[in-house]
Amino acid sequence: MTAIGKTWLGVVAGMTVLLVGCGSGDPQRPGSSPARPTTTISAPISVATPSAAPAPAGRPSATSLAGRPTSVGVSTTPATTAQSPEPATGTVVLRTVTLSGIPVPGVPVHLSLQQPCDPSSKDIPLGETMETLRRDGVTDEQGRASFITEIGCYRFGMTAPAGTNPVPEGMHTLFLVTAGGTATGQLRFQDTAPEPACAEATIETELGVDPGPVATIPDCDGQWGVIRWDTPGDNQRVITRASGTWTTYVRFPHDICWSSASADGVPERLRSYFSC
Q: How far apart are CA 140 and CA 273, in angstroms?
A: 31
| pLDDT of res. 215 | 93
Q: Which residues fall within 8 angstroms of residue 21, CB to CB, at 6 or more apart?
A: none
Q: Is the pTM of this model over 0.75?
A: no
Nearest CA to 112 out of 135, 90, 89, 129 is that of 135
CA atoms within 13 A on the CB side of 134: 7
Averaged over 28-43, what is the pLDDT?
43
- Write the burial class of residue 228 (CB in 10 Å: 0-12 exposed, 13-18 middle, 19+ buried): middle
Helices (H) and strands (E) in the chain — how many of each?
3, 11
Q: Which residues fall within 8 angstroms of residue 32, CB to CB, at 6 or more apart?
A: none
Least confident of 66-70, 116-120, 226-230, 257-261: 66-70
Whether pLDDT at 165 is above 90: no
Per-residue 3-state assignment (H helix, E strand, C coil) for 68-89: CECCCCCCCCCCCCCCCCCCCE
| pLDDT of res. 171 | 86
Q: How many CB atoms lie within 10 A of CB 217?
A: 17
| pLDDT of res. 80 | 59
Q: Which residues pair with 232 in a beta bridge?
A: none
C-alpha 195: how far from its chain's center? 53
Averaged over 138-164, what is the pLDDT?
93
Averaged over 80-96, what is the pLDDT?
84
| pLDDT of res. 243 | 78
Is residue 143 very low, low, confident or very high in pLDDT (cuts 50, 70, 90)? Answer: very high
Whether pLDDT at 173 is above 60: yes
| Percent of the chain residues topping a pLDDT of 70 | 68
Q: In what order do the strands lie in the sheet with 245-251?
A: 215-220, 224-229, 237-242, 245-251
Whether pLDDT at 25 is above 70: no
Under 8 Å between Cβ of 107 and 165 = no
pLDDT tens-place string over residues 200-246? 989 999 999 998 999 999 999 889 999 999 999 999 999 999 878 89
Q: Which residues fall within 8 angstroms of residue 117, CB to CB, at 6 or more apart?
A: 124, 125, 129, 152, 153
